[in-house]
Amino acid sequence: MLSIRNLNISFGETRVIHNLSFELKRGTTMALVGESGSGKSVTSLAVMGLLGPKAIIDADEMKLDDLDLLHLSPEEHRLIRGKRMAMIFQEPMTALNPSMRCGEQVCEMILQHESISKEEAKQRVIDLFTEVRIPEPEAKYNAWPHEMSGGQRQRVMIAMALSCSPELLIADEPTTALDVTVQGEILRLIKELQVNRNMAVLFITHDLGVVAQVADEVLVLFRGVVREFGPVQRVLKSPKDEYTKGLLECRPPLHTRPFRLTTVEDVLTNAEVDKHEVKSNFEEIESRSPLLEIQHLEKWFPLGKTTLFGTSEVYKAVNDVNVVLYPGETLGLVGESGCGKSTLSRCLVHLHEADAGQIFWKGRDITKLKGSALRSLRKEIQMIFQDPFASLNPRAKVLQILTEPMEVHGLNGNSNGRKAKAIALLKRVGLGEEALNKYPHEFSGGQRQRIGIARALSVEPELVICDESVSALDVSVQAQVLNLLNELKEEFGFTYLFISHDLSVVKYMSDHLMVMRRGVLEEYGHADDVYSNPSSAYTRKLIDSIPQID
């Protein structure tokens, strides 16, 4: 279906793909695996004709069945894009037009390539929404992208990609930012549609657990070079290349808790890794006076009136939650999108005001703090956000990003003292002094997250809230960041509230673990006990949804 021989892609003097060759057969799925910057997405965009004029593409062959993709004009490429080959992009909120209703966007694709009426196109869209299991497909036809959940938006993207029955489907990290349960549904859906429609699927991911679920063959890329290729079971069970072994080893283990996760660099350099297992000392942890106590906490959001003269309804994003956080521990918080995880954390730092209940910090009620008292509290409780590119000021250099919080709280004396502290923080998170004069866009995703961590540490907090802070990172970068967080906890005695939808990561990091569902605390206990013997069917569902290689 797709044949590529000796593909080279360059931007100016920089070559990003080196002599890439592979064949993808009809009715099969090939996984393209590697870290960010390995060349996965660039390869797919070259096939789709979406790289633009600055890219220099050279190859002996790039064919879609019998069609030569190398010598198509932009107009010829546009005519087959969506018709013979289609792509599911990584972030549907970015890929979907926010100013068009979801159904209309899929309808536009159909009308672009086929001579049918608008009514026939609309009916096909509704049928597609049914096929990809979007609830209430007729109502969702008129929904805006922001009115859909992440999983539903991804289903709209799949429906759009399938709307003209393509022969080749390229899925570029289609499940990276999704909950494990939604991810499992999307993976099963793509597999079913591929079998039913006899499509060829090129599946791009950095998660080898996902590869085990969907792929027939796997191709491992590292800095634009093929490091390993073969049947998925052979590559995952008996990898020959050290880089592939590194990708497999840096995933958080489910049944043990080593002191340090292995990184890809450790494997490539044959570095010794401390593998001794860490056990939580619950007697000591629970004998301490609580650092943070949450009692009957509630946060509501208005839904508006259902009728003209009716009463306004509210959605309880956090509903009667009670929990205790002890000094020096990591409390894991897990649940699907919309369960109330982030809302709860934002109530703790007063980015949301609680509607009911109480929050106690070191025994003091902080629920209604205002003014200077609240400002002082924010020095003690800091947050590392999920998306460092969105949470770092794009117009500020790293020096300002790190020193501004110190200046606000009157720390480290004068500007020279604050700069020296910023340099020390950068060194501690694995970055050099040269980073001070750069902007956020000049860093990789993992480097930006390190800057976000340094910013949180700049005011010397006691509690650090990690809100999905590793969810969008490659498994190799994720391992580095998790190791860093644990090292900082040991060095500075931090307490963490670690929030994620990935239960394997939360279990590895946490002493206690709490599970939320629809605003309610579903389960709470020692992390290993909750994982080994969940009392809730919902927790069991989350555990069963974790992608596993075995």
- Rg of the chain in Å (alpha carbons): 25
Phi then psi dihedrals of residue 28, to 5 deg? -125, 165
Q: Are 407 and 418 in contact (CB under 8 A)?
A: yes
DSSP β-ladder status, 61-64 and 29-33: unpaired
What is the sign, positive or negative, of the torsion defined by CA atoms of 416, 417, 419, 424? positive
Per-residue three-class SS string for 117-134: CHHHHHHHHHHHHHHCCC
Structure tokens at 398: 């790293």
- CATH fold group of domain 1-84+168-180+194-236: Rossmann fold (3.40.50)
Q: Where are the domains of the chain?
A: 1-84+168-180+194-236, 95-165, 289-396+450-544
In angstroms, rounded to a whole number, what is the distance separating the alpha carbons of residues 413 and 417? 6
Q: Which two tokens stand for residue 275?
A: 């593998």
At the topology level of CATH, where does 289-396+450-544 sit? Rossmann fold (3.40.50)
Residue 348 CB contacts under 8 Å (≥ 6 apart), including other chains: 292, 294, 359, 381, 465, 497
Same fold for the pair 1-84+168-180+194-236 and 289-396+450-544 = yes
The alpha carbon of 175 is separated from its chain's Cα centroid by a whole number of angstroms, namely 8
Query: Looking at the chain, how many residues does it have?
Result: 550
Reference 471, options 325, 333, 329; nearest CA is 333
pTM of the shown model = 0.82
525/531 Cα distance (integer angstroms): 10
Phi then psi dihedrals of residue 529, to 5 deg: -70, -45
pLDDT tens series, the chain, 550 aa = 899 999 999 998 899 999 999 999 999 999 999 887 788 989 999 999 998 888 999 999 999 988 999 988 888 988 898 889 999 887 777 788 999 999 999 999 999 888 899 999 999 999 989 888 888 889 889 999 888 876 788 888 888 888 888 899 999 888 766 677 777 887 888 888 888 888 899 999 877 888 888 899 999 999 899 999 999 999 999 999 999 998 888 888 888 888 889 888 888 888 888 778 888 889 999 999 999 999 999 999 887 655 566 666 788 889 999 999 999 999 999 988 778 888 899 999 999 999 999 999 999 999 998 888 998 898 999 998 877 777 899 999 999 999 999 999 999 889 999 999 999 999 988 888 999 999 998 887 778 888 999 999 899 899 999 988 887 677 888 888 898 888 889 888 899 999 987 888 899 999 999 999 989 999 999 999 999 999 999 999 888 888 777 6
